[in-house]
């Protein structure tokens, strides 16, 4: 029987063919957990009497949510994480200052390959789908995987997205991704894998694919995945060890729905409070005064995103009264940004840089906003309290839109600055 890419990957993990709707217990090729859950899973394992991990060599732990300890309690948590890593013999540990964002640097370092099956604690692990990897978040159930090697999963349906058209000047994949989740909606997306392909696939680079994979989790998809192509395999050269699997659904595979999506949207998009899928054209919120801007998060922390922001900021200054934070996704991205002169542009404009990782998007512990303030940023969510206080407004947009708004002191159409 023809299979979707998701069914193929889960069939390999199970060692037998699987079908949509079936309950399975697949073993992952890789498990990822970030710094804010390590102490919790250790306590849960202790309560269960578990003294060793099922497969410690498959576990990757990273410090990305709080790479710089902002309190004594945070420093103590970092110390505990290091002790736990040593106790369980975890070899793949990326402490502060080593890797960066756990949804990005494992792709840089060759941990993620096409056709892999990954389970994770954090919901945005679906970024890995940019390389043709099926990555599914389990949140607290990841403790079961660490102890027993697996957890139950219902084989999800696949929602096929055929990309067509061309991206217009001043528009980015962030605009397209946000518009897409609003158009598709939670009812269609729920517990489905969103699979990307189509005639415009080759025009979207890996950085753009990461953004397109990232956003649908906000409307309830189980995961996201791109077909592999020449773009995928070119990225993997020098990063991962071949051979690389070609990941694509079979002709005749059963899809929940097939949607054709045109990349050529006409206007930059902004997610207005209080949910990421409350997406409007930038013209509908233009003129809104802002106090705070942020470039970063697992949705938009790539070198492409930093280049976009720098295009706006070069030779300009951040508006008086606006704080602007830039968080490169990984150590490699930060180094490349410095080499290209982007860091100098940010600093000259009046921006502040934070350590590679989640940055403010991790919940506002790093550079939170105050009551009554308005932020526009490239973070993942804009629900009340995401950046600290609940008494603030959060808008989400592309790096172009965020940087231009920081210069103007209000939300603007970035094409005026390009």
- Tell me if the bond preceding 406 is cis, omega within 30° of 0: no
The per-residue pLDDT for 366 is 85
Confidence band (pLDDT; 50, 70, 90) for 296? very high
Query: Which CATH class for the 5-262 domain?
Result: alpha beta
The per-residue pLDDT for 317 is 98
Spell out a b/e string for 365-400, using b for 16 or more CB atoms within 10 Å of the CB, else e. bbbbbeeebbbbbbbbbbeeebbbeeebbbbbbbbb
The predicted-structure confidence for 303-315, as pLDDT tens digits, reads as follows: 999 999 999 999 9
Do the beta carbons of residue 201 and residue 230 sit within 8 Å?
no
**Whether pLDDT at 364 is above 90:** no
Average pLDDT, the chain: 97
The per-residue pLDDT for 365 is 79
Fold match, 5-262 / 271-416 = yes
Q: Structure tokens of 131? A: 């390389």
The per-residue pLDDT for 166 is 98
Q: Is the dihedral of CA 355, 301, 142, 25 positive or negative?
A: negative
What are the sequence ranges of the domains in the chain? Answer: 5-262, 271-416
Strand partners, 137: 120
Query: What's the pTM?
Result: 0.97
Mean pLDDT of 281-301: 98
**Whether pLDDT at 267 is above 80:** yes
Query: What are the φ and ψ backbone dihedral angles of 157, each rounded to 5 degrees?
Result: -75, 165
Rounded CA separation 373/389 (Å): 9
The predicted-structure confidence for 394-411, as pLDDT tens digits, reads as follows: 999 999 999 999 999 999
The predicted-structure confidence for 10-38, as pLDDT tens digits, reads as follows: 999 999 999 999 999 999 999 999 999 99
Rounded CA separation 179/164 (Å): 15
Rounded CA separation 317/287 (Å): 18
Rounded CA separation 60/34 (Å): 8
Query: What are the φ and ψ backbone dihedral angles of 10, each rounded to 5 degrees?
Result: -70, -30
Could you tell me which CATH number the domain at 271-416 has?
Answer: 3.30.499.10
Q: Is the dihedral of CA 199, 203, 208, 209 positive or negative?
A: positive
Query: What are the φ and ψ backbone dihedral angles of 294, each rounded to 5 degrees?
Result: -150, 130
The predicted-structure confidence for 191-243, as pLDDT tens digits, reads as follows: 999 999 999 999 999 999 999 999 999 999 999 999 999 999 999 999 999 99
Rounded CA separation 220/188 (Å): 9
CA 12 to chain CA centroid, nearest Å = 25
């Amino acid at each position: 029987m023809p299979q979707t890419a998701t069914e193929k990957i889960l069939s390999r993990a199970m060692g037998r063919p699987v079908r949509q709707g079936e309950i399975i217990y697949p073993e992952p090729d890789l498990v990822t957990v970030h710094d804010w859950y390590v102490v919790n899973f250790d306590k849960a394992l202790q309560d269960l009497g578990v003294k060793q991990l099922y497969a410690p060599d498959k576990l990757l732990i990273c410090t990305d949510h709080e790479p710089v300890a902002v309190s004594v309690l945070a420093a103590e948590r970092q110390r505990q994480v290091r002790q736990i890593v040593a106790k369980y013999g975890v070899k793949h540990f990326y402490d502060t200052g080593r890797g960066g964002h756990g949804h990005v640097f494992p792709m840089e370092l060759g941990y993620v390959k096409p056709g892999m099956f990954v389970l994770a604690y954090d919901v945005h692990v679906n970024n890995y789908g940019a390389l043709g990897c099926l990555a599914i978040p389990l949140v607290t159930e990841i403790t079961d995987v660490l102890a027993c090697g697996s957890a139950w999963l219902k084989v999800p349906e696949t929602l096929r997205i055929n990309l067509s058209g061309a991206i217009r000047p001043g528009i980015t994949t962030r605009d397209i991704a946000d518009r897409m989740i609003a158009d598709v909606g939670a009812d269609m997306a729920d517990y489905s894998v969103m699979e990307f392909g189509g005639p415009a696939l080759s025009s979207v680079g890996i950085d753009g694919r990461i953004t397109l994979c990232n956003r649908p989790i906000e409307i309830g998809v189980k995961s996201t995945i791109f077909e592999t192509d020449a773009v995928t395999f070119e990225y993997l050269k020098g990063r991962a060890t071949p051979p690389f699997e070609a990941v694509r659904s079979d002709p005749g595979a059963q899809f929940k729905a097939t949607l054709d999506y045109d990349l050529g949207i006409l206007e930059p998009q902004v997610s207005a409070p209080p949910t990421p899928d409350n997406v409007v054209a930038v013209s509908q919120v233009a003129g809104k005064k802002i106090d705070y801007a942020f470039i970063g998060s697992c949705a938009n922390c790539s070198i492409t995103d930093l280049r976009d922001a720098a295009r706006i900021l070069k030779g300009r200054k951040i508006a008086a009264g606006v704080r602007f934070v830039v968080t490169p996704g990984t150590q490699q991205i930060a180094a490349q940004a410095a080499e290209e002169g982007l860091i100098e542009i940010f600093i000259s404009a009046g921006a502040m840089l934070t350590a590679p990782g989640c940055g403010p998007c991790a919940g506002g512990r790093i550079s939170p906003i105050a009551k009554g303030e308005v932020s526009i940023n490239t973070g993942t969510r804009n629900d009340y309290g995401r950046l600290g206080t609940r008494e603030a407004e959060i808008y989400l947009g592309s790096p172009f839109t965020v940087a231009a708004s920081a210069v103007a002191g209000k939300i603007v159409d970035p094409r005026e600055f390009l």
